[in-house]
């Protein structure tokens, strides 16, 4: 689409030099709104206006893919830190269980003006919850956002729980609730839309020892939004 | 390391839970118009398909005033909306808009594939109460469409951008049986428009498709055709 201009990294330092905002301190509360889906360790990142952890309709970066397929945020941390972002890594101290919350307190954003949040959804192949570059208001107050479940578009949603979390390794790394099945034949081997898109949702089945999916259709489905974000600008 | 970089972020609006973040880029005054030339508002309307496997039919783009509406929840679809939602043909829908004196009526050039997008330019005489309607069929369904109607453009200054995440509606004109021969998209290659109205005959939000992976073996749809909301992102940019 022609409204976008993609810049190379080397050009970046010259472009936002004049775009200083006063430093802000924010609290960020992330609530998992689902009934049966876990979030892997969250990355809450304050960055400048020209960067994104992901953009719907665009291809996933390798770092985003590693997060979405295996819950590994280290690549995104390295990449954003190199660009001057201020990050809160893993504020939940591990998995964020269904219907529970994690708190980031007193994040000093420095000169960064925008907020992004990502975490993998389990059990899925490459589903993730995401907030893409939300402009942090300058006015003190409490702001509430509801965000959706995305599909990174990098892996077929076969819904087989086999420990496969590394990029390129087909399968779901884990079902933390332990409430699914085994021995599934796989829902599909193809990914139709290979860009980042809204996740179609888990299909699942009700067969604990076979069927097409190791995910339980009675437990592991969801409807958007999957997370509530409360940002308090101090 | 390849984080995406983008220079212009302006406004974000989510239908439902509304968040509005506006930034401004002030345009230059336009000194090239002769005094008698009408002042025009120019918009770039981009639709991005965020579905798994629902190609979107050529979009209808209508800029209008408050007296027009493309549809309303609980109200029967017009014949034009029925054609659009059952068969992906927006021509009658656009004729209806012209008949209602909508000042800006355009069509996308083609189907927007999942992950794809299209930009349509629309220019209208400057007005104080401009609104936008966009509509497009999810072609692997019986009569589902996405879009928005009555989206307010009056607060957009030159250079501003509005982003709207679009839900899925059901035209209510064709029962959602998902059977072979009833769905015009590539999942089936079946019938598009049929003038019979064998469903609830009012517009509502869409309940989603069942598909053949969920116990409905007669469905011609499979796992990739399932969807959740939103199905698409609309980006409205005022360029003049």
Cross-chain residue pair B48–A56, CB shorter than 8 Å: yes
Reading the block at residue B127, the tokens are 């007005």
Q: Is A135 on the interface with B (CB under 8 A)?
A: yes
For residue B177, pLDDT over 60 is answered with yes
Domain assignment of residue A49, yes or no: yes
* A5 reaches B (C-beta below 8 A): yes
Average pLDDT of the segment spanning A25-48: 98
Whether the Cβ atoms of residue B35 and residue B122 lie closer than 8 Å to each other: no
The answer to the question of residue B68 being in a domain is yes
A61-117 pLDDT, tens digit each: 999 999 999 999 999 999 999 999 999 999 999 999 999 999 999 999 999 999 999
What tokens does A67 get?
């997060």
Its domain, for residue A79, covers 25-153+223-233
What is the pLDDT averaged over residues B176-183? 98
Residue B191 at interface with chain A, using a CB cutoff of 8 Å = no
Q: Using CA atoms, how far apart are residues A121 and A39, in angstroms rounded to an integer?
A: 5
pLDDT digits (tens, 9 = 90+) for A172-225: 999 999 999 999 999 999 999 999 999 999 999 999 999 999 999 999 999 999
- Residue-level pLDDT at B38: 80
Which ranges in chain A belong to alpha helices (H)? 12-15, 62-70, 74-82
Mean pLDDT score of chain B:
88
Give the pLDDT band (50/70/90) at residue B128: confident
For tokens 């975490």, name the residue: A119
Rounded mean pLDDT of chain A? 92
- Look at A8 and A78; give whichever has higher pLDDT: A78
- If residue B137 lies in a helix (H) or strand (E), which one and from where to where? strand B131-137
Q: Supply B140's token pair.
A: 């692997």
Whether B72 contacts chain A with CB within 8 A: no
Does the residue A171 lie in any domain? Answer: no
CA A176, CA B56: separation in Å to the nearest integer? 36
CATH number at residue A75: 2.60.40.2130
Give φ, ψ of A13 to 5 degrees.
-55, -25
Q: Do B233 and A144 touch (CB under 8 A)?
A: no
What's the total number of domains in chain B? 1
Domain count, chain A: 1
Is B228 contained in some domain?
yes
Residues paired with residue A198 on neighbouring β-strands, in sequence order = A150
In a domain, B51, yes or no: yes
CATH of the domain at B226: 2.60.40.2130
Chain A neighbours among B 20-59 (CB < 8 Å)? 21, 23, 44, 46, 48-53
Contact list in B for residue A1 (CB cut-off 8 A) is 46, 48, 117, 119, 235
Q: Are strands B13-14 and B161-166 parallel, antiparallel or unpaired?
A: parallel
pLDDT at A110: 95
Report the pLDDT value the prediction gives residue A125, as an integer from 0 to 100.
Answer: 98
Q: Does A20 fall in a domain?
A: no
Say if residue A9's pLDDT is above 90: no
User: Could you give phi then psi for residue A39, rounded to 5 degrees?
Assistant: -100, 135
Which residues in chain B (83-102) have CB-CB distances under 8 A to chain A? Answer: none
What range does the domain containing B140 cover? 40-238
Residues in chain B with CB shorter than 8 Å from the CB of A225 are 17
Please write the tens of the pLDDT for every residue from B9-46.
Answer: 333 333 333 333 333 333 444 444 455 678 999 999 99
**Is pLDDT at B4 greater than 60 in this prediction?**
no
Residue A134 with chain B: CB contacts under 8 Å:
12, 19, 21
Mean pLDDT score, B149-167: 97
Task: Extract long-range pairs of B174-178: CB within 8 Å, 24+ residues apart.
Answer: B174/B85, B174/B86, B174/B142, B174/B143, B174/B198, B174/B199, B175/B142, B175/B199, B176/B141, B176/B142, B176/B143, B176/B207, B176/B209, B177/B142, B178/B141, B178/B142, B178/B209, B178/B210, B178/B211, B178/B216, B178/B218, B178/B219, B178/B220, B178/B221
- Determine, yes or no, domain membership for B7: no
| Cis-peptide into A123, omega within 30 deg | yes
Interval B98-127: pLDDT, tens: 999 999 999 999 999 999 999 999 999 998
The answer to pTM > 0.90 is no
Residue A142 covered by a domain = yes
> Of A19 and A88, which is predicted with more confidence?
A88
| pLDDT given for residue A23 in this prediction | 79
A133 with A114: CB under 8 angstroms? Answer: yes
């Amino acid at each position: 689409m022609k409204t976008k201009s993609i810049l190379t990294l080397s050009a970046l330092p010259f472009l936002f030099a004049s775009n200083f905002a006063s430093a802000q301190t924010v609290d960020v509360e992330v609530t998992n709104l689902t009934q049966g889906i876990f979030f892997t360790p969250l990355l809450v990142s304050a960055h400048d206006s020209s960067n994104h952890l992901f953009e719907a309709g665009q291809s996933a970066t390798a770092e985003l893919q590693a997060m979405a397929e295996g819950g590994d945020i280290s690549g995104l941390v390295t990449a954003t830190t190199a660009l001057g972002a201020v990050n809160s890594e893993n504020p939940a101290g591990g998995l964020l269980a269904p219907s529970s919350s994690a708190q980031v307190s007193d994040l000093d954003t420095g000169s960064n003006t925008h907020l992004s949040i990502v975490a993998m959804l389990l059990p899925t192949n490459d589903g993730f919850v995401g907030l893409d570059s939300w402009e942090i208001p300058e006015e003190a107050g409490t702001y509430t956002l509801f965000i959706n479940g995305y599909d990174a578009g990098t892996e077929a949603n076969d819904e087989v729980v086999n420990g496969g979390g590394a990029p390129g390794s087909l399968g779901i790394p884990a079902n933390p609730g332990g409430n699914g099945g085994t021995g599934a034949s796989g829902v599909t081997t193809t990914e139709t839309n290979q860009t980042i898109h809204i996740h179609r949702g888990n299909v699942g089945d009700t067969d604990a020892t076979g069927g097409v999916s190791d995910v339980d259709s009675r437990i592991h489905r969801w409807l958007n939004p999957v997370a509530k974000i409360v940002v308090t600008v101090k | 390391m390849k984080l995406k970089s983008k220079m212009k972020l302006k406004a974000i609006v989510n239908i439902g839970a509304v968040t509005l973040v506006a930034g401004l880029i002030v345009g230059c005054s336009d000194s090239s118009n002769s005094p008698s030339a009408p002042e025009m508002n120019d918009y770039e309307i981009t639709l991005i398909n965020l579905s798994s496997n629902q190609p979107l039919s050529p979009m209808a783009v209508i800029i209008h005033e408050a007296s027009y509406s493309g549809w309303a929840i609980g109200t029967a679809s017009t014949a034009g909306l029925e054609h659009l939602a059952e068969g992906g043909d927006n021509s009658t829908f656009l004729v209806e808009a012209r008949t209602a004196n909508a000042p800006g009526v355009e069509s996308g050039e083609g189907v927007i594939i999942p992950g794809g997008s299209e930009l349509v330019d629309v220019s209208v005489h400057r007005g104080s109460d401009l609104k936008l309607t966009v509509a497009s069929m999810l072609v692997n369904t019986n009569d589902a469409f996405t879009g928005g109607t009555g989206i307010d453009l009056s607060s957009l200054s030159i250079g501003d951008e509005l982003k709207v995440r679009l839900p899925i509606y059901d035209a209510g004109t064709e029962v959602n049986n998902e059977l072979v021969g009833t769905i015009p998209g590539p999942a089936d290659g079946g019938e598009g428009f049929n003038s019979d109205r064998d469903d609830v005959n009012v517009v509502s939000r869409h309940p989603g498709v069942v598909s053949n992976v969920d116990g409905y073996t007669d469905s011609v749809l499979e796992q990739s055709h399932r969807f959740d909301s939103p199905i698409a992102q609309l980006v409205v940019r005022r360029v003049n």
